[in-house]
């Protein structure tokens, strides 16, 4: 299976950069995620890797060989699109078999390959059904089967879970992980859902406005986001961001905000002045449930939102925006009720208020 490299790749549409000087290295036999909001350029990167588009600048290499001008067949890639792209007038069997028929393989070879992949994905009992008769999860499996059946070396999945309901998405995440491990191929997952990337990606590239903002493991991106945008986007629940200030006095440094103040030994690495403070909802807790932490503040409940087995509590603490706290349980309280929230100092993220880049973590200041 090839190691894939993109070297300073750009793609323009109407003279606007959809992909802007992107460089990536995707190890062989890996499950690699490209994560970003809509119109971030991630799907165009997929099309460039697949050979469905040719870059205006830069090179694409498979195992060191320049494949920039080669098409999908020569690159030995397969793509499963987010809308499944199934032929409505063909059965599941014929949809899966369609690329093999284009390759003019013998009928018995086609049948063997289709049956093998269908049994593997547990859809062999649905092969005589048409797309309109299949569930969302079954359609997704048919689309993935069509990609696998070609015996391609690289499989590209464009938002494979976006059209599935919550429970099926969870099941399919486990299935995709299992598939990649067992088939041992390069699988590149394109997604706008951070949970997909956090669950599946060995390495993850976060894109926005055609650029790669950060590349790393799930732990890298979660623990040390390069900037506020990555911090907000890459998480179970969006990171809280609010104003703060760094003040130094003698051998101490203080992080001051409207709702709390945290003091640390002055290491000399953090400049004084206005900053942005980040706090992940899952790093905060309700004092009533978990007891006081190193830093505590009070507010009023504006909304409690049950998400799966968790509750997101929206709190008015007198800041410009509501704060979100993630409670790993069903938690119901009256709107307007007072509440106390706590967190430990190591959970703080300190960002520049100018370029929004990460300056330090609370844990860095503690030493």
Q: What is the pLDDT of residues 329-343, one digit of tens each?
A: 888 889 999 999 999
- Which of 118-122, 128-132, 270-274 is predicted with the least confidence, judged by mean pLDDT? 118-122
**Whole-number percent of the chain with pLDDT over 90:** 66
Instruction: Indicate if 8 and 125 belong to the same structural domain.
Output: yes
Strands 338-343 and 273-279: unpaired
Strands 65-66 and 252-256: unpaired
**Whole-number percent of the chain with pLDDT over 70:** 98
Which of 22, 305, 33 is CA-nearest to residue 193?
33
**Per-position DSSP letters for 245-286, written without gaps between them:** EEEEETTEEEEE-SS-EEEEE--S-S-SEEEEEEE-GGG-EE
Which of 255, 236, 227 is CA-nearest to residue 351?
227
Tell me, yes or no, whether 113 lies in a domain: yes
β-bridge mates for residue 323, sequence order: 315
Statement: residue 289 has pLDDT above 70:
yes
Instruction: Indicate if 170 and 304 belong to the same structural domain.
Output: no
271-288 average pLDDT score: 95
In whole angstroms, what separates CA 75 from the centre of its chain? 26
Tell me, yes or no, whether 69 lies in a domain: yes
* Tens-digit pLDDT profile for residues 32-78: 999 999 999 999 999 999 999 999 999 999 999 999 999 888 898 98
pLDDT of residue 149: 87
- Domain at 39, CATH number: 3.40.50.300
Question: Rounded CA gap, 44 and 11, in Å?
Answer: 8
Cβ distance 355 to 300 under 8 Å? no
Cβ distance 348 to 221 under 8 Å? no
- Which of 58-62, 180-184, 214-218, 302-306 is predicted with the least confidence, judged by mean pLDDT? 180-184
Tell me, yes or no, whether 67 lies in a domain: yes
Domain that holds residue 137: 4-226
pLDDT of residue 257: 97
Statement: residue 325 has pLDDT above 80:
yes
Instruction: Indicate if 211 and 299 belong to the same structural domain.
Output: no
Instruction: Indicate if 192 and 278 belong to the same structural domain.
Output: no
pLDDT of residue 366: 78
Task: Establish how many alpha carbons lie within 13 A of residue 172's alpha carbon, considering only the half-sphere containing its beta carbon.
Answer: 25
pLDDT of residue 236: 85
Instruction: Indicate if 166 and 126 belong to the same structural domain.
Output: yes
**Per-position DSSP letters for 47-116, written without gaps between them:** HHHHTSS--SEEEEEETTEE-TT--HHHHTEEEE-TT----TTS-HHHHHHHHHHHTT--HHHHHHHHHH
Statement: residue 364 has pLDDT above 90:
no
Confidence of residue 226 (pLDDT cuts 50, 70, 90): very high
pLDDT of residue 308: 79
- Domain at 357, CATH number: 2.40.50.140
Cβ distance 336 to 300 under 8 Å? yes
Tell me, yes or no, whether 233 lies in a domain: no
Tell me, yes or no, whether 336 lies in a domain: yes
Question: Rounded CA gap, 321 and 325, in Å?
Answer: 13
Average pLDDT in the chain: 91
* Residue bearing the bigger pLDDT, 227 or 166: 227
| Count of the separate structural domains present in the chain | 2
Statement: residue 266 has pLDDT above 70:
yes
Instruction: Indicate if 308 and 333 belong to the same structural domain.
Output: yes
pLDDT of residue 282: 95
Cβ distance 183 to 154 under 8 Å? no
Question: Rounded CA gap, 104 and 286, in Å?
Answer: 63
pLDDT of residue 291: 92
Tell me, yes or no, whether 232 lies in a domain: no
β-bridge mates for residue 22, sequence order: 9
Q: What is the DSSP letter of 227?
A: B
Tell me, yes or no, whether 140 lies in a domain: yes
Of 172, 196, 226, which closes a domain?
Answer: 226
Question: Rounded CA gap, 212 and 215, in Å?
Answer: 7
Neighbours of 226 (CB within 10 A): 19
Most confidently predicted of 104-108, 116-120, 167-171, 313-317? 313-317
Instruction: Indicate if 194 and 270 belong to the same structural domain.
Output: no
Phi, psi dihedral angles at 15 (to 5 degrees):
65, 10
pLDDT of residue 150: 83
Instruction: Indicate if 167 and 282 belong to the same structural domain.
Output: no
Instruction: Indicate if 33 and 59 belong to the same structural domain.
Output: yes
pLDDT of residue 361: 92
Instruction: Indicate if 181 and 249 belong to the same structural domain.
Output: no
Which helix or strand (DSSP H or E) is residue 351 part of?
strand 349-352
* Tens-digit pLDDT profile for residues 161-212: 776 666 777 777 887 888 788 777 889 999 999 988 998 888 999 999 999 9
Confidence of residue 268 (pLDDT cuts 50, 70, 90): low
pLDDT of residue 102: 87
Of 226, 253, 270, which closes a domain?
Answer: 226
Tell me, yes or no, whether 309 lies in a domain: yes
Statement: residue 346 has pLDDT above 70:
yes
pLDDT of residue 1: 58
Instruction: Indicate if 203 and 250 belong to the same structural domain.
Output: no
Question: Rounded CA gap, 151 and 131, in Å?
Answer: 23
Query: pTM surpassing 0.95?
Result: no
Beta strands (DSSP E) in 137-284 are: 154-158, 186-191, 203-208, 211-216, 240-249, 252-256, 261-265, 273-279
Confidence of residue 249 (pLDDT cuts 50, 70, 90): confident
Which of 4, 182, 216, 190 is CA-nearest to residue 81?
190
Classified as helix, coil or strand, 36 is coil
Instruction: Indicate if 249 and 213 belong to the same structural domain.
Output: no
Of 226, 252, 280, which closes a domain?
Answer: 226
């Amino acid at each position: 299976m090839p190691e894939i490299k993109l070297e300073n790749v750009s793609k323009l549409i109407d003279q606007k950069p959809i992909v802007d000087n992107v460089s990536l290295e995707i190890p062989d036999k890996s499950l690699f995620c490209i994560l970003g909001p809509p119109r971030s350029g991630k799907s165009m990167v997929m099309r460039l890797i697949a050979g469905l588009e040719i870059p205006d600048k830069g090179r694409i290499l498979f195992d060191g060989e320049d494949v920039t001008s080669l098409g999908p067949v020569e690159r030995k890639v397969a793509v499963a699109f987010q809308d499944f792209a199934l032929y409505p007038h063909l059965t599941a069997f014929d949809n899966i078999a369609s690329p093999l028929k284009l390759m003019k393989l013998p009928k018995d070879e086609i049948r063997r390959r289709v049956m093998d992949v269908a049994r593997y994905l547990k859809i062999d009992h649905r092969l005589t059904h048409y797309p309109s008769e299949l569930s969302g999860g079954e359609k997704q499996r048919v689309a993935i089967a069509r990609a696998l059946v070609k015996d391609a070396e690289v499989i590209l999945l464009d938002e494979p879970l976006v059209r599935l309901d919550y429970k099926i998405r969870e099941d399919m995440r486990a299935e995709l992980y299992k598939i990649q491990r067992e088939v041992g191929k390069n699988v590149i997952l394109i997604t706008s859902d951070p949970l997909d990337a956090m669950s599946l990606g060995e390495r993850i590239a976060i894109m926005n406005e055609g650029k790669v903002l950060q590349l790393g493991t799930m732990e890298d991106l979660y623990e040390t986001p390069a900037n506020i945008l990555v911090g907000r986007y890459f998480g179970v629940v969006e990171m809280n961001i609010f104003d703060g200030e760094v003040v130094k006095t003698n051998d101490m440094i203080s992080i001051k905000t409207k709702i709390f103040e945290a003091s640390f030994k002055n290491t000399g690495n953090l400049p004084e002045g206005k900053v942005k403070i980040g706090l992940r909802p899952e790093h905060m807790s309700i004092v009533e449930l978990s007891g006081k932490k190193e830093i505590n503040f009070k507010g009023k409940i504006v909304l409690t939102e049950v998400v799966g087995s968790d509750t997101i509590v929206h709190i008015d603490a007198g800041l410009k925006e509501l704060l979100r706290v993630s409670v790993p349980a069903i938690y119901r309280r009256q709107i307007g009720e007072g509440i106390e929230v706590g967190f430990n100092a190591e959970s703080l993220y300190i960002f520049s208020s100018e370029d929004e880049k990460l300056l330090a973590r609370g844990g860095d200041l503690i030493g």
